Amino acid sequence: MRADGKVPKGPGKGAMKNQKKALLRDLAFLGAVVAITAVLLLVFPEKRAPVFSASKDYLVEMLLVMPAVMVLMGLFSVFVPDELIVKYLGKSSGLKGMLIAILIGTFPTGPLYVAFPIAASLLRKGARVASVVVFLSAWACIKIPQELVELQFLGLRFMVTRLALTIVFVLAMGLLMERILGRELRDVPGAPEPGRR
Amino acid sequence: MNGTTLFINALALACLALGFMKDRAKTRQALKVSVKFFVRILPTMLAIILIIGLMSGFVPPKTISRVVGQEAGFIGVLTVAVLGAILQIPSLIAFPLAASLLKMGASLTSVAVFITTLTMIGFVMLPLEIRILGKRFTLLRNALSFAIAILIGLLMGVLL
């Protein structure tokens, strides 16, 4: 997503255009990497074998998990719509609310910027700042498909330890931010307004 | 195929079957979304795979461990944290990259810090987050995320 300030809430026309632009950027990046690889391997033919074998190992490993992960993400995104999230998070507060926030943050899919409007509408509906912070952080770094890929590549011990630490610190961060900003955030800009930066 | 791969694929299949039992049309739509996700992530995935190959062929592990390994110390951790906050790599692809770095001599701490700042902080997204959630909220959230990423990484280095 570009930071051009024209970011729609839903998958509107602007979003489609942005996605196309992002895809082109990614393709250009891939092209550049392929070109660099080609040149390097032409100049250093003896490096071909190690480079290809390392790439092949990772390619195989990724192809074994990525389709399944994508299926999970697709299912989550269709069966758990944004409104459901707002409904469940909006009314609970206290520690229970924060735990629900973690849980719900792990379910859905999509990049972090998709969660910003959800967070804003939660705040406008009077949700606790702590819960919203926890929700955003969980959305960012504890999504289930993501944890599965972490498990595959970095192992159970790494994944579990990082997950546990993240949950603890994210809860603490939510409470700290609430301490600083106040329990209910009144100055959420909310939906894009003309004349507001 | 190892246990994790089997588990992930079995889980996906089970969820898919459940979806089909609950709502055929929705599940079909979900599969379309999945294909779109996959197409979207494929170029970056292939690029990162090549980069991993190049790194293992051309960059000696000594260099990696000097830049992001134990020897690099706190400066190394900070560098990695900033890189994670700036770079826009999809987190799913970041794990294989992190694994290859770990194998080549990066420290556990820097790998954990990298993943955490990469997912929690988006430098490019800052203006957008400010517009939607306000300046105070955004700056505080990103600053604190940066700090806890480093804390999580340091603790992981101690624990594992």
Asked if B49 reaches chain A (Cβ–Cβ under 8 Å), the answer is yes
Output the average pLDDT for chain A: 83
Residue ranges of chain B whose pLDDT lies below 50: none
What is the C-alpha to C-alpha distance for residues B128 and B137, in angstroms, rounded to an integer?
Answer: 12
Asked if A40 reaches chain B (Cβ–Cβ under 8 Å), the answer is yes
What's the pLDDT score for residue A16?
67
Residue A33: count of CB within 10 angstroms of its CB: 20
- What ipTM, to 2 d.p.? 0.89
Asked if B37 reaches chain A (Cβ–Cβ under 8 Å), the answer is yes
Higher pLDDT, A185 or B94: B94
Mean pLDDT of A88-95: 72
Asked if B103 reaches chain A (Cβ–Cβ under 8 Å), the answer is no
| Spacing of C-alpha B134 from chain mean position | 26
Higher pLDDT, A126 or B27: B27
User: Cα separations (Å) of A181 from A92, A140, A184, B131, B154?
Assistant: 19, 21, 8, 17, 28
* Cβ-defined contact of B47 to A30 (cutoff 8 Å): yes
Distance in Å, alpha carbon of A87 to nearest chain B alpha carbon? 19
* Cβ-defined contact of A74 to B116 (cutoff 8 Å): no
- Token pair of A55, please? 């790439």
What's the pLDDT score for residue A14?
61
